[in-house]
Amino acid sequence: RGEGGGGGAGAPPPPPMSFVFVHSRSYRELQVEVEMATATGDPAALQRVLAACPYNTDGLVRLADYCSHTGQHELAGECVDKALHACEAAFHPQMRSRCTQGTARLRWRNAANRPFLRALFRQMKRASREGCHRTALELGKLLFCLDPEGDPMHLLLRLPGLALAAREHR
């Protein structure tokens, strides 16, 4: 759901527009199962929930966290890719263009936004680990622009290092 103003060609950039993911009742009910499966500490329990709903973004990001901690980086990357794909499919029609303009806002304080933000953060770290420093920097800048007031992932501390790695020191 989007809220905010617009702008025309040749006009100054439009004011920021806030977005929030909206979950259906069945998704919220499934979220309880994801949280219970996560609380058990058993990744198989989480995988069973994801077998029933393979595009549950929070479940995918939580499974990616587990896989990453156990050194299964390829599987973690697949989970993150799938989560990002699911989120992108649910974007508001203006979200993509607002992101490229730097005027989209997706606040961490809205719990429904967190799986997407966490997946994007994981993708940024993955890109950096794989030597794609420019991509990591661009993802970091995007993440910062989505919630610049809150900066929940402390990107202001990470961006200089990413810029140096990408050889963008200006």
**Span 108-163, pLDDT tens digits:** 999 999 999 999 999 999 999 999 999 999 999 999 999 999 999 999 999 999 99
At 99, the pLDDT band (50, 70, 90 cuts) reads very high
Could you report the per-residue pLDDT of 49-66, keeping only the tens digit for each? 999 999 999 999 999 999
Q: How far apart are CA 35 and CA 137, in angstroms?
A: 31
Structure-token pair, residue 19: 């977005």
pTM for this one?
A: 0.88
- Compute the half-sphere exposure of residue 164: CA atoms within 13 Å on the CB side of its CA: 4
- The rounded mean pLDDT for the chain is 92
| Pair 31, 58: CB distance under 8 Å | yes
- In this prediction, residue 13 carries a pLDDT of 76
Radius of gyration over every alpha carbon of the chain, rounded to an integer in angstroms: 17
- In this prediction, residue 1 carries a pLDDT of 52
* Helices 73-89 and 57-69: angle between axes, nearest 10 degrees: 160
